[in-house]
Amino acid sequence: MCGIVGYVGHSAGRVNTGHNALDVVLEGLRRLEYRGYDSAGIAVVADGTISSRKKSGKLSNLIAELEASPLPDSLTGIGHTRWATHGGPTDLNAHPHLADEGKLAVIHNGIIENFAELKLELVRKGVDFKSETDTEVAAALLGDIYRNQVHGSSKGDLTKAMQLACQRLEGAFTLLAIHADQPDVVVAARRNSPLVVGLGDGENFLGSDVSGFIDYTRRAVELGQDQIVTITADTVEITDFYGAPAEGKEYHVDWDPASAEKGGFPSFMEKEIHDQPDAVLQTLLGRSDVNGRLTLDELRVDPELLKHVDKIIVLACGTSAYAGQVAKYAIEHWCRIPTEVELSHEFRYRDPIVDENTLIVSISQSGETMDTLMAVRYAKEQGAKTVSICNTNGSTIPRESDAVLYTHAGPEIAVASTKAFLAQITAAYLLGLYLAQLRGNKFQGEIKDILADLNKIPAKIQRILDNEAQIKELGQSMADAKSVLFLGRHVGFPVAMEGALKLKELAYIHAEGFAAGELKHGPIALIEEGQPVFVVVPSPRGRDSLHAKVVSNIQEVRARGAKTIVIAEEGDEAVKAYAEHVFYIPETPTLLAPLLSTVPLQIFALALASAKGYDVDQPRNLAKSVTVE
Ligand code: F6R
């Protein structure tokens, strides 16, 4: 939530890099806008003063404001794009917030939990607050501390002031500050919220993630928890909240700016749906040898410990939790380890049973989801081993986990997750197969066969994409639908819930996913004449008469007037008689089918929402990276 950018350009005497802080910060905000788009703002230091502009609504509103009222050229600036927590999405509540008589500008991501008591204290000192935000309280506190450092000729020290302020702040925060008296410095702090440093040549950057500065450098530095970083054009100094020097870990960003562009598609979401063959392929690549032996080298948990795991708990939220639910079917089947999937925020606050034989598998695209981070921390405290499945290099959850299995989906910009979901399922399958290999639950030949099936998935997704016109047309024709239901069994159940979530978040209509077998226990009462119902049908070649059961469920809803739309495997003629529309997906083993059956549901939601004229990349009320609890 909230995107943050900071920049300091060349210092006196160096070759001019030609970058104006305003341009760098605006470009960073454009790339980070997916993190929140309730308002945007920017502040620069020029000619010994702070100048700032801020505007509610999307970044385009701020850009219009800047055209009407330009900011001066500058080498030092900060910018913010907001997902509102404290105070509505108004101009006044937008960041930056100013303090110290307008000489200090602060932006913030997170929630200051003790803001009320600090505010009271500052009001008593005479501070007049203009907004409803907790950020303005942090700015006023920092300003107060800074001003108290200034005596006669002795100047203030923004880094020191930030350290002292952070010692008083509770909650989650990334804070960036600039001060008119220190024009070539940006000071930042982080606790439980993301912040990365970008290393340039004669210029340095700060961003909520690397996309904030990817146009300028691929050299990034991870910051640890409770750290403060001070950047100038030539230096990056990191300390803890008490001033003790600390080290950051440098890494190379291996995706290029072009992969974070739309690539000719009308939206990031459509592009990312089309990236899916590659997202799965890249996630599989280099993870097994020619004999089909899994070589998950990055999984640094002692194999002996993994052999003794007697329970797996998958922790995630939203779409990532549905990936976890798919994984449960595969992991239990392949490894015979009891596997629970729990929403991170529910797990964390219910006194769960976790010990050193529990393996926690967290799944997070961003690696910053606060609910999941807190749940992982809690599980670690209880002695569990933690593995993170994550798409964002260097983010907090993998950093705090014992091991990480990265998904290689590339940057996911659209707020609604698509390619990360398929990559998460793929990575979870790899983890399941690795555990089965390690614990001897499967013969090597069986693992090799499953891997061979997995390797065929990218081409099969491509075939679905090549035939997307039919599902797009259906989506467009249903723009007036008020409610759509989704049914599935076995791995088709989480797929149904994911299909419903995509429709809710993109098209703002009522959509629900049910286990098809649960229908008769209540939800069937929702069915009336013309109610659209998607049914995800398992392969007729699968086990346990699953297919026949789902076909019966289709008949049950159809008998009550539902308009049935069926996702079935090629060659499944049996479903035709009961379906108004059938979308065929290529043959694949039942456990792997979610990697295919999800795709038409994504395309349907995209087409329906686009037909309604909605912004599919930035749906209302949402943000990509949910860094508050
Ligand atoms: C839905 C969606 C969200 C995320 C959830 C978890 O399309 O994107 O439900 O899946 O907020 O986010 P991560 O995976 O970053 O932890």
State whether 436 and 570 are in the same domain: no
Q: In 3D, which of 9, 617, 618 has the Cα closest to residue 269?
A: 617
- For ligand 1, mutation pick of 505, 598, 626, 629 (most atoms within 8 Å of CB): 626
Last residue of a domain, one of 207, 233, 252: 252
Specify the length of the chain in residues.
629
For residue 321, the ligand 1 atom closest to its alpha carbon is 10
Residues 176-181, mean pLDDT to the nearest whole number: 98
- What is the share, in percent, of the chain residues with pLDDT greater than 90? 83
At 316-343, the pLDDT tens digits run 999 999 999 999 999 999 999 999 999 9
Q: Is 166 a catalytic residue?
A: no
For residue 626, the ligand 1 atom closest to its alpha carbon is 11
State whether 391 and 530 are in the same domain: no
Q: Where are the beta strands (DSSP E) in 166-270?
A: 171-179, 182-191, 196-199, 204-207, 219-222, 227-231, 236-240, 249-252
> Rounded distance, CA 565 to CA 517, Å?
17
State whether 150 and 209 are in the same domain: yes
State whether 404 and 445 are in the same domain: yes
At 232-272, the pLDDT tens digits run 999 999 999 999 999 999 999 887 777 778 888 999 999 99
Å from CA of 228 to ligand 1 middle: 28
State whether 127 and 63 are in the same domain: yes
> Which residues, in sequence order, are bridge partners of residue 564?
533
- For ligand 1, mutation pick of 209, 417, 422, 618 (most atoms within 8 Å of CB): 417
Last residue of a domain, one of 252, 287, 310: 252
Å from CA of 459 to ligand 1 middle: 26
State whether 236 and 286 are in the same domain: no
Q: What string of H, E and C letters represents the secondary structure of 241-294?
A: CCCCECCCEEEECCCCHHHHCCCCCCCHHHHHHHCHHHHHHHHHCCCECCCCCE
CATH number at residue 12: 3.60.20.10
Q: How confident is the model at residue 84 (pLDDT cuts 50, 70, 90)?
A: confident
At 136-167, the pLDDT tens digits run 999 999 999 999 988 777 788 999 999 999 99
Distance (Å) of CA 584 to CA 103, 297, 423, 452, 468: 63, 37, 22, 22, 11
Give residue 551's pLDDT: 95
State whether 503 and 622 are in the same domain: yes
At 438-492, the pLDDT tens digits run 999 998 999 999 999 999 999 999 999 999 999 999 999 999 999 999 999 999 9
- For ligand 1, mutation pick of 363, 365, 419 (most atoms within 8 Å of CB): 365
- Residue minimizing CA distance to atom 7 of ligand 1: 416
- Residue minimizing CA distance to atom 11 of ligand 1: 318
Å from CA of 316 to ligand 1 middle: 8
State whether 391 and 438 are in the same domain: yes
On the question of a cis peptide bond just before residue 494, with omega within 30 degrees of 0, the verdict is no
Q: Which domain holds residue 60?
A: 3-252
* Non-local CB neighbours of 403 within 8 Å, separated by 6+ positions: 298, 299, 300, 301, 385, 386, 387, 388
Return mean pLDDT, the chain.
93
Which protein residues touch ligand 1 with a CB less than 6 Å away? 317-320, 364-366, 369, 372, 416-417, 501, 505, 625-626
State whether 394 and 429 are in the same domain: yes
State whether 489 and 593 are in the same domain: yes
Q: What is the domain count for the chain?
A: 3
Q: Is 335 a catalytic residue?
A: no
State whether 10 and 135 are in the same domain: yes
CATH number at residue 371: 3.40.50.10490
Query: Which residue, chain included where needed, has tokens 């993170």?
Result: 388
Q: Do the beta carbons of residue 257 and residue 214 sit within 8 Å?
A: yes
> Rounded distance, CA 107 to CA 175, Å?
6
Last residue of a domain, one of 215, 232, 252: 252
State whether 447 and 334 are in the same domain: yes
